[in-house]
Every structure is written in C-alpha cells, then in structure tokens.
Amino acid sequence: MEMALSAARLEVMQHIGKDIDGLITEYLKPIEENWQPTDFLPDSSKENFFSEVKLLQESCRELPYDYIAVLIGDTITEEALPTYESWLMDVIGVDQVNNPSGWAQWVRKWTAEENRHGDLLNKYLYLSGRVNMRALEVSTQYLIADGFDIGTDRDPYRNFIYTSFQELATNVSHRRTATLAKKFGNPHLSKICGVIAADEMRHAKAYKAFVTRILEVDPSELLLALEDMMRKKIVMPAVFLRETGVKMGDTFSHFSDAAQRLGVYTTNDYIEILESLLVDWKIDSVRDINEKAERSRDYLMALPNRLKRVADRTKVPELAYEFSWIN
C-alpha cells in the first residue's frame, strides 16, 4: 500500500480508536462473565466423570459422517487462531509495542474470547470417540504453519470488511451445526455450537460497527476497498486446509462440499451475508463520494443478483470423501 494511502488509513484508525475502551465494553464481555469450555464438559474431578463421558459418546455415535467432518473442520478453523491474531496485529493502526492500549488491546481481547471456541470443540471431539485426534492435530498444525492470504494486505478497511463477513459466516456455520445436532438427538452438542454462534454474532456486530464508522469519515475509500474484496471473493480462513499426504487446500474443498451437502454453509449463505452487509452499511445511499466510488457502489448493488444466477447453476458434489480425521 502506497505511503500516502497508509498515512490516511492510520489517521482514520486513530480517530476511531479514540473510543477503543467503549468499543470493548460494548462488544466484548468481561472475562469473569464469560462462559468457559469446562462449563460444557464432564468434570474429570467428579466420580461420575466416566459415566458422563460414556453418555457423551453414546450421543455422538449416530451423528452422520458429513456432520462429524464439518464439526472437525470448524474446530480446526477455530484452532488456527494464532494465524488470525498475528495477521490483525500487523494491520495499519494496530501497534502492540508503542500503543498496547489502543487497537492492539482490541485484538488481544477479541482473540481471548475466540480462543475458547476451538478449546471447547477440541475437547468435546476428543471425548466423543469418533475422531482420529492425531490426524486432526496434524491438520491444525499444517493450517497454522501454512498461514493464509485473505487478500486484505495490511489495510484496516479491507480487514474489517473481511472480519465482518467472516464472523457472520462462522455464526451461520455454528448456528446450523447447533440446529442439526438437536435434530440428530444431541441437545448437549447443540448448546455448545449455539453459544459459540452467539459469540460470533456479537463479534460480527463489532466489526460491522467499525466499518460503519469508517464510512462516516472516508466513504469513497471504503467503497473502493469493499468492491476490491468482493471482486477477489471472501475466502474462508481455512482455505489452505490439508491432511497428511494431501496438497495444501485440497482438504478444504472436501470440507466445503460436506458443509454444502448438509446445508451448514452454502453459496446462498455467502450471497445472503453480502446482501445483509449492503443493507447494514446502507451502501445504496452513501453520499459525498467520488466518481470512482460511485462506480464501486453500482457494482456492489448489482452483485448479489449476479451471484444468484451463478449459484443457480452450481451443483453440490454428491461424492463423499473419506477424511483421515474420522474413526
């Protein structure tokens, strides 16, 4: 990103960041008020621990293959949190050395909340008896080691657009796994997925609010950034997902197919998230923008219908894939 543009971005981040403590109070919870993973797991210090684990395993025995695969993929995605934190710490305006109480504080506290998600899902899957945990752990290590490129560079505008979209996508995924768990007769797992989904929605509201504040002070540049991100397409953070002996990214395609077959996260969900963001940010009525930004707005407002035409022609692969993760 050119120097002049970087300086302008930094100025906007400093302007929005003046109220960072208020944003943290509004969108993140005090640690002592948050749920913790062990709130939803058998207590190993109790005499009935093994009987509770047995009940947990029995409730997981009949969960469909694709469902377990999607739950594992979601878990690995959540466990790759070190990648996401390090990426956000490098965004323009985030300075953990010289201004640790500014945007860096947001990143740390957001990360602290997110950390519970993978922790809970990992422990649950370990106890379920359905999962080859070593294979899951290998995929997690690969995903962290391989990193990711979400097309945002160090630009805070593009990063907040991405996180707005991604937090909504993870909310949809966890909410659907919660609904399906209940349908499959596992209300305990449904509750677990549900509390994670609630966190993701709260985080989505935060990042959407950041974008709204940017629109108030730099609408033209925000629209250009949004057009750029949508032309590239929003890629999922686990896009490089793989297993032992599998090329980087190949396992993600199979994970995505399983999610589509189950209806956990589909092409139509992608379009609906885009539509909701265009409405929330009032993109159709943004004013005081330059000519280039007006063209961006026209492109963005026409995009959902264009994507719907493509989605109507897209077929979900029916061929199941044998994941190394599942016993």
Q: Which residues are known to be catalytic?
A: 35, 78, 114, 117, 167, 170, 199-200, 203
3-state class of 131 per DSSP? strand
Structure tokens at 282: 């009032």
Are the C-beta atoms of 155 and 225 separated by less than 8 Å? yes
Q: Which of 215, 212, 232 is nearest to 293 (CA)?
A: 215
Give dist(CA 71, CA 78) in Å, integer: 11
Nearest in space to 235 (alpha carbons), one of 169, 177, 298, 279: 169
Task: Give me the torsion for CA of 59, 62, 67, 70, rounded to 10°.
Answer: 60
What is the full DSSP assignment across 237-277? TTTT---TTS-TTHHHHHHHHHHHHHTSS-HHHHHHHHHHH
Cβ atoms of 301 and 283 closer than 8 Å:
yes
CA–chain centroid gap for 255, Å, is: 15
Distance CA 65, CA 118 (A): 20
Q: Which of 15-26 are b and which e, b meaning 16 or more Cβ less than 10 Å from the residue's Cβ?
A: ebbeebeebbee
Which one, of 16, 3, 14, lies nearest residue 212 by Cα? 16
Six-digit token pair at 133?
Answer: 């945990």
